[in-house]
Chain A
Amino acid sequence: MIIKLASGVGQYLYLLKRVFRWPDRWRMFMRQFIAELDKQALQSLPIVFIISIFIGAIITIQGKTNTENPLLPAYTTGLLTRETLLLEFSSTILCLILAGKVGSNIASEIGTMRITEQIDAMEIMGVNSANYLILPKILALVLMMPFIVIISDAIGLLGGYGVAVLTDIITKEDYLYGIQYAFNPYYVTFGIVKSVVFAFIITSMSSFYGYHVRGGALEVGKASTTAVVNSSVTILLFDLILTKILL
């Protein structure tokens, strides 16, 4: 078990060594990079919008229910919604969701290229396939993740505001006061730093499992599942470590 884990980590680090090299052709790299920006980041925005708005609304409703106490000020619900979104939801939970969407997409795409010998074809041409295929994916998501997190924060707060406007659970004024009360800008930075690390984990680990697929369609499916499960667990582990270090 330990030997297998050490061997896996070794293979992962060796792959990263091949990934982080200067591209053979910058023109080709930029073409891939722009395609990945669209595929990994822009195409993830609809799900980010939907999840964030619902979670923002749900946190507000549940927050109000759980803080129904005359000793607590009315703005507590807004404050709770903001802190939950900034500290945990928009960085960690969103990245766990993206690990499912983006991670499985990357692992199955690269895995299919492996079993259909497209990666071998690149290697035989003298192309560093790891660099050509994986580097644009990593950089695209790492670069776009801060924007995704900020968008998720904003949309989540909007979801909570929707509850304040459409229901009588909380007043608009209390909610707006709550989300501004004792605001610490460092929490935004904290969320962004975490999400960038998680973006790297999602793309690099999923690429690793896809790149090392051997066999057929069944193995590609297995690699895709393993990529999602292992990157999710690694995200949680790093969430714990980063929270301890940064907060």
Chain B
Amino acid sequence: MIQVIDLVKKFDQTVVLRHVSADFHDGKVNMIIGHSGSGKTVLMKTMIGLHTFEEGKIIYDLTYPHPTRKDVNDMNENEIQMLHREVGMLFQGSALFDSMTVLENVLFPLEMFSQMSKEERTERAMFCLRRVNMPEHALSLMPAKISGGMQKRVAIARAIVLQPKYLFCDEPNSGLDPKTSLVIDQLIHEITEEYQICTIVNSHDMNSIMEIGDNIIFLKNGEKKWQGSNKEIFHADNEDLDDFVFASNLFKKVKATNQ
């Protein structure tokens, strides 16, 4: 579980996150939603430690070196590095290493941090690649030679190969067609339930939100305006959320039907 308490983040004098508090649960897909520029990516990157923050706390449940709960601000450089080994991340642009093949990309974290033998490493990487339905013939290809959907799947395989406790996904559907988006969403949902990890997805795709959003945090102008599940979203009495959710005609019709 991750607890964000009263988080304030500024870039120079511009306040990007205004006293955001939210809980992110294990075994659930926790979604940060909002319009472009609402602070979703900044919140996610701040939670991972890629940005520093001015006020507040980000408390993680840690396993190494022993089970404990700790605020990111109280961690030293070594502890941050250990935390990162419990985190997997799926980047918006996949961020696969373009000098390595698909298989080498997934092997990379294992080669850096696991004590496994070469055979065990390959077996584990192949297992993860099969889990995300990567075809065997694509494993020796370079990332530039495979489709965007395949790149996302490889990135998911790489993110879960070290069996992380936390999986961060930054706009996993961006640049994908609706069918591939659905496949990626289902994959994220299955992996979250299967490994009981705390998954945090940053998205503004309503289909995705309705499909997998177990715990939704809605941001507007850097402020948390609403928190609930995808089942509650249509019945929420929140003008800002309505403005976001019912921006598309499709969801306006869904709302009308529900009423």
A interface residues (Cβ-Cβ under 8 A, vs B): 24-25, 27-28, 113, 116-118, 120-121, 123-128
Give 10 pairs: A residue, B residue, CB < 8 Å, sorted on A. Answer: A27-B111, A28-B112, A120-B50, A120-B89, A120-B91, A121-B95, A123-B50, A123-B84, A126-B82, A126-B84
Residues of B within 8 A of A28 (CB): 111-112
A118's contact among B92, B97, B113, B168, by CB below 8 Å, is which? B97
Q: Does B120 contact A (CB under 8 A)?
A: no
A120's contact among B83, B95, B109, by CB below 8 Å, is which? B95
In the bound complex, what is the Cα–Cα distance between A121 and B100 (angstroms)?
Answer: 14
Determine whether the beta carbon of A117 is less than 8 Å from that of B91.
yes
B interface residues (Cβ-Cβ under 8 A, vs A): 48, 50, 81-85, 87-89, 91-93, 95-98, 108-109, 111-113, 162, 168
In the bound complex, what is the Cα–Cα distance between A117 and B48 (angstroms)?
Answer: 14
In the bound complex, what is the Cα–Cα distance between A98 and B25 (angstroms)?
Answer: 53
In the bound complex, what is the Cα–Cα distance between A180 and B249 (angstroms)?
Answer: 87
Q: Which of A25, A27, A117 has the most CB of B within 10 A?
A: A117
Residues of B within 8 A of A113 (CB): 97
Task: Give chain A nearest CB distance to B101 CB in angstroms.
Answer: 14
Count, A-B residue pairs, CB within 8 A: 52
B105's nearest neighbour on chain A, judged by CB, is: A121
A117's contact among B82, B95, B111, B112, by CB below 8 Å, is which? B95
Determine whether the beta carbon of A116 is less than 8 Å from that of B93.
yes
In the bound complex, what is the Cα–Cα distance between A121 and B95 (angstroms)?
Answer: 7
Residues of A within 8 A of B87 (CB): 124
In the bound complex, what is the Cα–Cα distance between A28 and B112 (angstroms)?
Answer: 7
A124's contact among B50, B92, B96, by CB below 8 Å, is which? B50
Determine whether the beta carbon of A25 is less than 8 Å from that of B84.
no
Residues of B within 8 A of A27 (CB): 111
Determine whether the beta carbon of A127 is less than 8 Å from that of B112.
yes
In the bound complex, what is the Cα–Cα distance between A221 and B10 (angstroms)?
Answer: 29
Q: Say whether, besides A124-B84, A124-B87, A126-B85, A25 and B111 are in contact (CB < 8 Å).
A: yes
Determine whether the beta carbon of A116 is less than 8 Å from that of B111.
no
Determine whether the beta carbon of A125 is less than 8 Å from that of B95.
no
In the bound complex, what is the Cα–Cα distance between A121 and B84 (angstroms)?
Answer: 10
Q: Say whether, besides A117-B93, A117-B95, A125 and B111 are in contact (CB < 8 Å).
A: no
Residues of B within 8 A of A126 (CB): 81-85, 112-113
Residues of A within 8 A of B92 (CB): 117
Residues of A within 8 A of B108 (CB): 125
B50's nearest neighbour on chain A, judged by CB, is: A120
Q: Which of B92, B97, B112 has the most CB of A within 10 A?
A: B112
In the bound complex, what is the Cα–Cα distance between A232 and B24 (angstroms)?
Answer: 50
In the bound complex, what is the Cα–Cα distance between A27 and B118 (angstroms)?
Answer: 12
In the bound complex, what is the Cα–Cα distance between A218 and B84 (angstroms)?
Answer: 31
Residues of A within 8 A of B91 (CB): 117, 120-121
In the bound complex, what is the Cα–Cα distance between A24 and B114 (angstroms)?
Answer: 11
Task: Give chain B nearest CB distance to A188 CB in angstroms.
Answer: 36
In the complex, the 5 A-B pairs of residues with the closest C-beta atoms, listed nearest first = A126-B84, A117-B95, A121-B95, A126-B85, A124-B89
Task: Give chain A nearest CB distance to B232 CB in angstroms.
Answer: 31
A121's contact among B83, B85, B89, B111, by CB below 8 Å, is which? B89
